[in-house]
Structure 1
Amino acid sequence: MSTSHADAVTFSDLSRNPRAVAERAARLGRVRVTHRDAPDFYLTTADRAEHQAQTLATASRLFLALIKHDPTARTLVIAMPEVFPWVRHLTVDELRAFTLELVEALSDAAELEVDTTTQEVIAGWRATARIKADPARYAEARKATKGDFGPVEVSA
């Protein structure tokens, strides 16, 4: 969801006039609070946040029920390329594994409020698809290695 200038305020605005910012958040549903020296955050109403959590929980439970009744996750696997076009570079088994891992991560987000796992799952499988999409890099990645290559830098 994108945020326009109209639904953003500065941290200073919030400090100077909290009532007006709170009223604006209630009217708009949420307001992005920008901060020069820290990450931005959203000010929202509790009922809106609770509705979003309930929506995520419902979707997660639906996906888990589909997998329970179809262990191959056929229906979800068929839909995955529409949501993630890059899955065409994964094998059928990898696509099934990604689908199951994603549904489990969504369940954790909904039931345990562990939000980071879902994006980590997507990023990991996207990285797998990215390297498999380049035959030369994929061949290089599959070569046997020896020894210790030292510390690894991880980029976002």
Structure 2
Amino acid sequence: MNVTDADTVTFSDLSRRPKEVAERAAHLGRVRVTHRDADDFYLTAADKEDLRDQSLTTASRMFLALMKHDAAARTLLLAMPDVFPWVRHLTEDEVREFTVELVVALSDAAELDADVTTQEVIAGWRATARIKADPSAYRDAKTPTSGDFGSVDAPA
């Protein structure tokens, strides 16, 4: 869901006019509440969020069921470059592994409320593709190392 200015209120707005903000959230489905000193959050109508959860659960169960059938799994593999264009830098086996990990992570998000795992799987495979896209970086990455190089900040 894209957020527009109409979908956003400040924490101060919520504090000063809670009824108005709640009505707006009920009408729109959710509003983003921005906070100067903390992370933003959403004020969401519970029934809308329940429907969203049910939809995610249904989609993840369908993908898991599809992965059990060779023809359907092949179709999922064929769809991956449309969804994630950077998979062209991965081998066929790596795309297959990414697809399985992604479907399992989506299932965990739906069934266990483990939402962060899905983005971690995508970020990990995207990082692999990024390195493999640059032949010199990939060659360097495959070079054995030894010793402790200290702490490393992960790129955004």
Is 1:120 aligned to residue 120 of structure 2? yes
The residue number in structure 2 matching 1:101 is 101
Aligned equivalents of 2:72, 2:28: Cα separation in 1: 42
The residue number in structure 1 matching 2:139 is 139
CA contact (8 A) 1:77 1:99 kept: yes
1:18-97 correspondence to structure 2 within 5 Å:
18-70=18-70, 73-97=73-97
Aligned equivalents of 1:28, 1:128: Cα separation in 2: 39
In 2 relative to 1, CA 30–70 (structure 1 residues): closer, same or farther, beyond 3 Å?
Answer: same
TM-score relative to the length of structure 1: 0.96
Aligned equivalents of 1:62, 1:43: Cα separation in 2: 29
Q: What do residues 41-64 of structure 1 show as CA deviations (whole Å, max 9, x unaligned)? A: 111100100000001001100000
Aligned equivalents of 1:39, 1:83: Cα separation in 2: 29
- Measured on the aligned residues, the alpha-carbon RMSD in Å equals 1.3
Deviation at 1:2, TM superposition (A): 2.0
What is the number of equivalent residue pairs in this alignment?
Answer: 156
Deviation at 1:147, TM superposition (A): 2.0
Structure 1 counterpart of 2:49, one-letter code: A
Identity rate of aligned residues, in percent?
71
Deviation at 1:3, TM superposition (A): 1.0
Aligned equivalents of 1:20, 1:148: Cα separation in 2: 56
CA contact (8 A) 1:60 1:107 kept: yes
Unaligned runs of 5+ in 2: none
Aligned equivalents of 1:50, 1:11: Cα separation in 2: 24
CA contact (8 A) 2:66 2:72 kept: no
Q: What do residues 130-151 of structure 1 show as CA deviations (whole Å, max 9, x unaligned)? A: 0000011111111111222222
Deviation at 1:94, TM superposition (A): 0.3
In 2 relative to 1, CA 63–10 (structure 1 residues): closer, same or farther, beyond 3 Å?
Answer: same
Is 1:155 aligned to residue 140 of structure 2? no
TM-score relative to the length of structure 2: 0.96
CA contact (8 A) 2:80 2:99 kept: yes
CA contact (8 A) 1:105 1:118 kept: yes
